[in-house]
Amino acid sequence: MNQKIKQEMDDEAKARREQFLAAIAAELPPIVFRNWHKWRDVLPMVPRTVANDDSRGEGPKEKVFLGRNAGYPKAAFIEYLRQRIHFTEGKN
């Protein structure tokens, strides 16, 4: 019985995660540069966090440079966010 409840909770968390990511993906440009002026309006993290993860090899799998500005293709960035999102149960 507990396994069934846990599976239902996991499925619900996955559905919420995908809904959240779909809303973010709708707002992102094809390449998300770290100096993008709408970054803090759309994304729930600061660009430096992504840069730090990138330097440790834990960031998005693809990177694009335009001059000195680093950016990430939308699909790679969404996959990176998918790995970082987790939900916890609230205390009621």
Predicted confidence (pLDDT) at residue 92 exceeds the cutoff of 70: no
**CA dist., res. 10 & res. 40, Å (int):** 29
State the CB neighbour count (10 A cutoff) for residue 81: 20
The secondary element (H helix, E strand) that includes residue 66 is strand 64-66
Is residue 75 a contact partner of residue 63, using CB atoms and an 8 Å limit? no
pTM score of the predicted model: 0.82
> With bands split at pLDDT 50, 70 and 90, how would you rate the model's confidence at 78?
very high
In this predicted model, what pLDDT tens digit does every residue of 21-75 receive, in sequence order? 999 999 999 999 999 999 999 998 999 999 999 999 999 999 999 999 999 999 9
Is residue 17 a contact partner of residue 85, using CB atoms and an 8 Å limit? yes
**CA dist., res. 18 & res. 5, Å (int):** 20
